[in-house]
Every structure is written in C-alpha cells, then in structure tokens.
Amino acid sequence: MVTFIKELKRIPRGDVPDFVAAAMPQFYEAIGLPNDVVLSVQASMAHYSIPKKNVAAEEYEAFELTLTKKGAFVSVEDIVKDNSIIEAFKPHKTPSKGSYPFVPAELIEQLYLYLKK
C-alpha cells in the first residue's frame, strides 16, 4: 500500500474556467519530513510522470520527485544510508542534483517511510 499519496494535497488553480484548468498542469504541496527534508512529488501533463496527464494522485504509477534539505537540493545518497534504496534510485538519477523523473510510486514509498523514521 502506498501511504505517501495521502500526504499529497493539490494546490488550487484559482478561479479559472474548467476548459482552462484542463489545459494547466496540476501541482501538489511538498511533503515535509524529519531532519528538514522535503519531498516534492509532482505528476501531471507537464511533469515526468506516468501517465503524463492530469488524473487523481492514486492513478499515477510514477512521479517526478525533487529532494531538498534545509532549502538546498540533495540527492538520495546525501540523505539515505540504506544501499538498496540508493541503488533503486540510480536509474532515475539526472545531472540535476535532487531531481528524479518517472520514479515508481512504490520506490517513493520506500524513501518516504525510511525518511519518516
């Protein structure tokens, strides 16, 4: 079961007509965790997610993930000591520190539960 999804709160788009809102990406509030770590978990038509469209958070298989600690971008290996989690994130690593595209929900869940301890 993926529990981090319950933490995702969609940021309102404001007063725009439905046809305009349908053409806009959706955004979720960041998830604050212990030790000043913040997970930004995003998915929409404009994010590196599966599917790449606006649907309910529960319908995504993979998300775009960004990690920060005390406001600075960090990579998984900067904040995690569990080698299995570090290795699992390697295929999703990009040149941009702290940015991970198309991360499976189950892998984000592993990281979320690890960092929540």
Q: How confident is the model at residue 15 (pLDDT cuts 50, 70, 90)?
A: confident
Nearest one of 47, 32, 37, 28 to 101, comparing CA atoms: 47
Q: What is the pLDDT of residues 32-69, one digit of tens each?
A: 999 999 999 999 999 999 999 999 999 999 999 999 99
Half-sphere exposure of 42 (CA within 13 A, CB side): 20
Q: What is the pLDDT of residues 67-99, one digit of tens each?
A: 999 999 999 999 999 999 999 999 999 999 999
Q: How confident is the model at residue 28 (pLDDT cuts 50, 70, 90)?
A: very high
Count other Cβ atoms within 10 Å, centred on residue 7: 17
Taking CA atoms, 66 is separated from 10, 20, 108, in Å, by 16, 27, 11
